[in-house]
Amino acid sequence: MGLLVRGSEFQHHRYEDMVRALFAVQSECPYITRIYSIGRSVEGRHLYVLEFSDNPGIHEALEPEFKYVGNMHGNEVLGRELLIKFSQFLCEEYRAGNQRITRLIHDTRIHVLPSMNPDGYEVAARQGPEFNGYLVGRGNSREIDLNRNFPDLNALMYYYEKTNGRNHHLPLPDNWEQQVEPETLAVIKWMQNYNFVLSANLHGGAVVANYPFDKSRDARIRGRTTYAATPDDKIFRKLARTYSYAHSWMHKGWNCGDFFDEGITNGASWYSLSKGMQDFNYLYTNCFEITLELSCDKFPPASALPREWLANREALVSYLEQVHHGIKGMVYDENNNPIAKAEISVSGINHDVTCGLDGDYFRLLLPGTYTVTASAPGYVPSTSTVTVGPAEAIQLHFYLKTAPKQNLKGKHHHGKKNLSSPKAPLKLGPR
């Protein structure tokens, strides 16, 4: 698929080079791309996103939103270069009439953020590949690790699991905006503005596809790690395997002196991590995110980039295609008006998703038969049974009737009590 781009075109991109490369793609493919900034870094660099869609800038109902995020740790640079290359590849293949890529761009809204931490990258790049240490440039310009900087919703989730509280879209702590870095703030606002369905976060330093939860449910016992499964553990394993097996060598398991069976790992069973981005996606939004560790060498030399691109190219496309599995549909009222923020629950999976502002929802599911319920305040819940196959998402629409007045004071749909944070056991402020 696609032409092997000449090795000479592979290079490391400093900030200005990266911006030029993104705008070059935009000018090559103006009708299917848009560039926008989600905010600025501490030092004022834009966090640019390149969007691919047949209608850039517009959410089309029933068309899922997908994102790739690279270079969250400034000195882990392969993801940044792969996403620049991936953007060029999508544009080139679309222009060449590649049917697979054309279909993806027509049916998906794809958002690519090559660098979440441009300031840290500049620090690492000044050191260069030969001398790059483990930590130089990892954090932002205040030396804060952005993957330990999101509000800690895991502690709240683990409390709610015991008290039958909310299982999704957990509330953020008060004054959370003051507790996070500008780059983190920009990404959280981005998540609030787009109803992302699937995502991957590209790192380096190992070769493995890592899936949630990253944070262990138990206090750490020295030397022992514990698997922390989400309610969607089976889907997350499938998503991680999709990338691993499409990658040239990740699935073989032996990489960088470590062994990971099938090239995948649960985050907490590897090592527990608090306030990470992938868990935050799952607990605060509708988005399922995994973390891709893509190279033993955090800052590989430019000469290694062509090989790394070939190793990851099919995996980047295959993983993106996973956004089109499961079920999707609209939730309407009796007058065929879409209901925003309606909740979709799947029997047996204790994690609900919500409709976007247009009344459309997306629920990633493995093949099987499911009982699905749509509910919204003021309406009678509606339940359907659906069988999901291995191919495209099944469309399942819901029509909700207005609830009789006297029922409105009755009990709401399951798990909706306890909307505020628990008072005693938790402190969600900075530690």
- Greatest CA span in the chain, whole angstroms? 71
Active site residue 289: no
3-state secondary structure 374-387: EECCCEECEEEEEE
Length, in residues, of the chain: 431
CA 173 – CA 191 distance, rounded (Å): 17
Cα-to-chain-centroid distance, residue 100: 22
3-state secondary structure 343-370: EEEECCEEEEEECCCCCEEEECCCCEEE
Cβ neighbors of 244 (< 8 A, separation 6 or more) are: 208, 209, 250, 251, 262, 263, 264, 315
Catalytic residue among 293, 308, 321, 343: 293
Cβ neighbors of 77 (< 8 A, separation 6 or more) are: 12, 71, 121, 124, 125, 204, 298, 299, 300
Task: Tell me whether strands 288-295 and 382-388 are parallel, antiparallel or unpaired.
Answer: unpaired
- Reading the block at residue 39, the tokens are 């905010």
- Reading the block at residue 391, the tokens are 């191919």
* Partners of 206 in beta bridges: 295
Residue 134, Cβ density class (10 Å: 0-12 exposed, 13-18 middle, ≥19 buried): exposed
Q: Do residues 171 and 427 make contact, with C-beta atoms less than 8 angstroms apart?
A: no
Amino acid, res. 203: H
What are the catalytic residues? 293
